[in-house]
Amino acid sequence: MYKSNIQPLNTIDGETLMSIPMEPLNFVVDSLISQGLHILAGAPKVGKSWLALWLATTIAKGEPVWNLQTKQGTTLYLCLEDSTRRIQNRLFSITDEVPSSVRFCTESNILEKGLEQQLTQFLKEYPDTVLIIIDTLQKVRSVKNDNAYANDYRDLSLLKRIADQHGIAILLVHHLRKEGDEDVFNRISGTTAISGAVDSSFTLVEDKRGSGRAKLSCIGRDIEYREIELERNKDNVWQLICDSKVTPGGSIPAAISAFMSNRTEYIGTPTEFAEEIDPDGTLGITPKKAARLLSESLATLRQIGVTACLRRSNGKRIVELHRAESVDTPGVDPIDPCEATEGDLSAVSASAGLNTLPRNLPRFSATFGETVEVTAERKNSLP
């Protein structure tokens, strides 16, 4: 009798899923660029590469991006259309200091011809990497004459798998089509598979060609739609003019901390919790969002001495909060996402065989072209 080696589907019921505390999503740029795969598209010569270079350098230094906090770590910029001399010139223009934690490379293999292994090797050598920028997407793709949609989706899925496995952000620099469209995201070059495969899409469109002012439109699975007005200064840095979504950093934990300052415990439904924490709606805490926002804030809440519990009682969902001095209250177990093994998504990818990569990989520096570190000392040191 034939025995199938196919593993059964590993399912989870909705009630259990809603009760599992998950680690908050890892953001490289708070509320803007999360771990995952993203695309930055714009017209030729609009300033995409200047923006990409500034992002790689700023994040490596741990400095804010347009007033948004960043996660400091190693960044890799694959500047595949530029020379090291051009990158150096641009660095002298945008900054006075470049850390060694930002890496540059002007040559690489292409997808399905070694790029995946090169990136994986780099991530092994630099495990603190938070961001990889590929400029441009087309430079790492091969020419195929068959199904364009399938090719787009397959190529981007290869990169997304790397981003998801390592918990990093990969940003692809790409082009916009010339023809106009009411929805700017429809102008991203290629099939709709590109927008479908990425976690976020960013389009950089100038108000008028050569004006130096542009709108960065942002949309994604893990971010809210926003429009960021930018202006390129004399040093070719895109500076913030205004942001359609001003995110108050840490507003949810701060509101809960203030709410719990004069009480030792709180028990209520998500609706009651939302009304207590955000009575005027300024924080955007609705009953539907309450449990998710609370779950995402668990780590920060622990740091300020508040433990939380999400449970069901008589068919209703209950939010339970306790101040540090009352955490020994009988029957209440503080939620720790790190101990919630059911929420470990890496186990899912492992069971699907996604963590299997060749072991006999070439060293990144040997096959990945010329890796350069530049330290800007004096602008007048240029030849």
Length of the chain: 383
The pLDDT tens digits of the residues spanning 355-383 come to 333 434 444 443 344 444 444 444 444 44
In a domain? residue 9: no
Q: Whole-number mean pLDDT of the chain?
A: 82
Q: pLDDT confidence of 122, banded at 50, 70, 90?
A: very high
Q: Which CATH number belongs to the domain containing residue 226 in this structure?
A: 3.40.50.300
The pLDDT of residue 253: 76
For residue 221, being part of any structural domain is answered with: yes
Write the DSSP assignment of 71-112 as a string of letters: ---EEEEEETTS-HHHHHHHHHHH-S---TTEEEES----TT
Asked whether residue 19 is domain-assigned, the answer is no
pLDDT at 1 (0 to 100): 54
In this structure, the answer to whether residues 309 and 167 fall within a common structural domain is no
Tell me, yes or no, whether 235 and 96 share the same domain: yes
Which pLDDT does position 249 carry in this prediction?
A: 39
Place of tokens 């202006």: 231
Q: Do residues 92 and 236 both lie within one domain?
A: yes
Q: How many whole angstroms separate alpha carbon 295 and alpha carbon 310?
A: 9
What tokens does 371 get? 């890796």
Q: Are 58 and 114 within 8 A, CB to CB?
A: no
Residue 7 belongs to some domain of the structure: no
My answer on whether 298 and 168 are in the same domain is: no
Task: Kindly state whether residue 15 falls inside one of the protein's structural domains.
Answer: no
Q: Is the pLDDT of residue 286 over 70?
A: yes
In the chain, DSSP finds a helix count (H) and a strand count (E) of 12, 15
pLDDT tens per residue, range 1-36: 556 789 899 999 998 888 787 777 889 999 999 999
Give the CATH number, domain containing residue 274: 1.10.10
Is-contact 204 46, C-beta < 8 A? yes
Tens-place pLDDT, residues 154-208: 999 999 999 999 999 999 999 998 877 778 899 999 999 999 999 999 999 999 8
Average pLDDT over residues 123-136: 98
Query: Could you give the CA distance from residue 199 to residue 36 in angstroms, rounded to a whole number?
Result: 6
Q: Residue 294's pLDDT band (boundaries 50, 70, 90)?
A: confident
State whether 70 and 131 are in the same domain. yes
354 confidence band (pLDDT: 50, 70, 90): very low
pLDDT in tens, 219-252: 999 988 899 999 999 999 999 999 887 644 346 7
DSSP per residue, 290-337: HHHHHHHTHHHHHHTTEEEEEEEETTEEEEEEEEGGGTT-TT-----G
- In a domain, residue 86? The reply is yes
190 and 80, same domain (yes or no): yes
Q: Is the dihedral of CA 293, 223, 120, 165 positive or negative?
A: positive
Q: Are residues 107 and 166 in the same domain?
A: yes
Q: Rounded mean pLDDT of 321-331?
A: 57
Sheet strands (E) in the chain? 27-29, 33-34, 36-42, 74-79, 102-105, 129-135, 169-175, 200-206, 213-220, 226-232, 238-243, 265-268, 306-313, 316-323, 371-372
Domain identity same for 134 and 239: yes
Which residue range forms the structural domain that includes residue 41?
A: 27-247+357-381
Q: Are residues 152 and 240 in the same domain?
A: yes
Rounded CA separation 159/174 (Å):
14
> What is the pLDDT, as a whole number, of residue 325?
59
Domain check: are 68 and 166 in the same one?
yes
- 306 and 192 in a common domain: no
Do both 145 and 240 map to the same domain? yes
- Residue 127 domain flag: yes
Q: Is residue 298 part of a domain?
A: yes
Quick check: 68 pLDDT over 60?
Answer: yes
Per the structure, the count of domains in the chain is 2
Report residue 77 as tokens. Answer: 């910029």
Query: Which secondary-structure segment (H or E) carries 121?
Result: helix 115-125
CB atoms within 10 A of CB 374: 17
Q: Name the residue with tokens 């519990």.
A: 309
